[in-house]
């Protein structure tokens, strides 16, 4: 990990850059796959599964028998952990339910909102070296609470055609409607366009590699909504001299093992902490099964020494981290000053891993600085809000003249007339 001491503010922009994710270079390949899935449906998907996932499939759907078998293939300890995590995620997201209250903006003019679930949503769950069954819980649980009628999940199968049983069990617990053995770009295409087997959805959620990211970006241009822009995962630890170096190092490494393009950053005002954290990183790294991945990720990672905590907070808000861990004496005071972050972890006993799995908050978060403009996945991600208004005779008399004046000044005479005819009708009825 590179060390930067007292960087000038003019250098922050360069210092805080993320690893580049160039999806433009993939555009041609991704477009070809998407187009074939769009026009050829299941046939194209099956061919791409053979080509990319190295598996020969007769059908794409996971059967009820496979779902039942999955429950017997994982041990009781993991089941209990999944169920605990699901209960906490459910509790946190239930608390986000929207209750629209009618508002009388003027006498006789009443407005309100109603929350309506997105009818069909698609979830993409990566497989590979780290099958993310936790992401199933994070996406399917709020989708079910929101009331989504169809929750479709795609995940790449192993070469024997099986799906990781923990993914299947988590899907059962969280309330997924249908599961398909499809990975990569072809999965995004199948959910975006629909095939003979896979229903078309209205919004797609979930992480993935650069090909999946590029595919989500392309289909979002005109075919389907997506959760948010995506990039490699990241964490920032904001710490002072009170921080435990072993804890900080563990947090940095927990992020680094996600992938070679992940980024971990420490910002501190204590020079001694940097040295101690560096030593702990080396010691803990040596014992990690995924140490090669973590080591490559650390090449993108930084230890930054600043003069004051005020400067540290300013740099933090400029970086806008996906995950922010604040391990300082006065972490609550600093937390109040956070304006750009995906999810914040407070105190020495709140590791990023808690939010990744079981505290209850959602781990699907904005990366690549998008925390300046986007929120993480929540119940709102799975609903739409429809506005209603009811206007009585008193109400149209109250606001009608203002509408007429505004419409006339925008030279939209038909808009003006829609009010005028009503006011004249009311006046005529009154005279009668």
Among 49, 257, 322, 327, the active-site one is 322
Summarize pLDDT for 9-67 with one digit per residue, the tens: 999 999 999 887 677 788 999 999 999 999 999 999 999 999 999 999 999 999 999 99
Summarize pLDDT for 147-175 with one digit per residue, the tens: 999 999 999 999 999 999 999 999 999 99
- Cα–Cα distances (Å) from 53 to 46, 160, 391, 414, in that order, read 10, 10, 58, 58
Q: Name the band, by pLDDT with cuts 50, 70 and 90, for residue 128.
A: low
The pLDDT, as a whole number, for residue 287 is 93
The pLDDT, as a whole number, for residue 129 is 65
Q: Do domains 2-21+231-360 and 24-100+117-227 have the same CATH topology?
A: yes
Among 93, 258, 323, 363, the active-site one is 323
CATH superfamily of the domain spanning 24-100+117-227: Nitrogenase molybdenum iron protein domain (3.40.50.1980)
Asked if residue 314 has pLDDT above 80, the reply is yes
Look up 323 and say whether it is catalytic.
Answer: yes
Asked if residue 340 has pLDDT above 70, the reply is yes
The Cα–Cα gap between 10 and 5 comes to 14
End-to-end CA distance of the chain: 85
Q: Name the band, by pLDDT with cuts 50, 70 and 90, for residue 124.
A: very high
Q: Where does residue 312 rank: exposed (0-12), middle (13-18), buried (19+ CB within 10 A)? A: buried
Q: In whole numbers, what is the pLDDT of the chain averaged over residues?
A: 95
The Cα–Cα gap between 365 and 353 comes to 14
Summarize pLDDT for 179-222 with one digit per residue, the tens: 999 999 999 999 999 999 999 999 999 998 889 999 999 999 99
Question: What are the sequence ranges of the domains in the chain?
Answer: 2-21+231-360, 24-100+117-227, 392-431
Q: Where does residue 291 rank: exposed (0-12), middle (13-18), buried (19+ CB within 10 A)? A: middle
Q: Name the band, by pLDDT with cuts 50, 70 and 90, for residue 432.
A: low
Rounded to 5°, the CA angle 330-332-334 comes to 75
Q: Considering the domain delimited by 2-21+231-360, tell me its CATH architecture.
A: 3-Layer(aba) Sandwich (3.40)
The pLDDT, as a whole number, for residue 429 is 82
Summarize pLDDT for 234-261 with one digit per residue, the tens: 999 999 999 999 999 999 999 999 888 8
Asked if residue 7 has pLDDT above 90, the reply is yes
The Cα–Cα gap between 255 and 353 comes to 9
């Amino acid at each position: 990990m590179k060390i930067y001491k007292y960087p000038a503010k003019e250098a922050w922009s360069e210092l805080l850059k993320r690893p580049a994710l160039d999806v433009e270079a993939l555009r041609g390949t991704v477009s070809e796959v998407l187009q074939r899935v769009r026009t050829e449906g299941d046939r194209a998907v099956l061919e791409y599964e053979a080509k990319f996932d190295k598996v020969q499939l007769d059908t794409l759907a996971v059967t009820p028998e496979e779902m039942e078998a999955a429950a017997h293939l994982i041990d009781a300890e993991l089941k209990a952990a999944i169920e605990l995590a699901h209960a906490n995620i459910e509790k946190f997201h239930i608390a986000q339910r929207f209750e629209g209250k009618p508002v009388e903006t003027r006498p006789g003019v009443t407005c309100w909102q109603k929350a309506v679930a997105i009818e069909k949503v698609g979830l993409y769950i990566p497989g590979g070296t780290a099958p993310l069954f936790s992401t199933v819980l994070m996406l399917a649980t709020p989708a079910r609470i929101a009331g989504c009628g169809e929750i479709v999940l795609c995940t790449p199968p192993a070469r024997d055609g099986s799906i990781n049983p923990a993914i299947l069990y988590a899907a059962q617990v969280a309330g997924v409607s249908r599961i398909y053995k499809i990975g990569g770009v072809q999965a995004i295409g199948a959910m975006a366009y629909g095939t003979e087997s896979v229903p078309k959805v209205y919004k797609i959620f979930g992480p993935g590699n650069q090909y999946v990211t590029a595919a989500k970006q392309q289909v979002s241009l005109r075919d389907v909504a997506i959760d948010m822009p995506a990039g490699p995962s990241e964490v920032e630890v904001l710490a002072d001299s009170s921080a435990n170096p072993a804890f900080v190092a563990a947090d940095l490494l927990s992020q680094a093992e996600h992938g070679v393009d992940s980024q971990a950053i420490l910002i501190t005002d204590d020079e001694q902490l940097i040295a101690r954290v560096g030593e702990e990183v080396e010691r803990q790294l040596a014992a990690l099964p995924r140490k090669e991945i973590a080591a490559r990720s650390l090449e993108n990672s930084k230890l930054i020494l600043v003069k004051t905590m005020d400067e540290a907070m300013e740099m933090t808000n400029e970086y806008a981290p996906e995950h922010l861990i604040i391990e300082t004496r006065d972490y609550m005071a600093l937390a109040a000053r956070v304006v750009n972050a995906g999810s914040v972890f407070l105190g020495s006993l709140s590791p990023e891993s808690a939010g990744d799995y079981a505290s209850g908050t959602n781990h699907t978060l904005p990366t690549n600085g998008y925390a300046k403009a986007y929120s993480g996945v929540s119940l709102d991600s799975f609903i739409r809000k429809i506005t209603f208004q009811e206007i009585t005779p008193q109400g149209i008399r109250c606001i009608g003249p203002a509408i007429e004046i505004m419409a006339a000044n925008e030279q939209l005479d038909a808009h003006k007339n829609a009010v005028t005819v009503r006011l004249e009708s009311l006046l005529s009825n009154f005279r009668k």
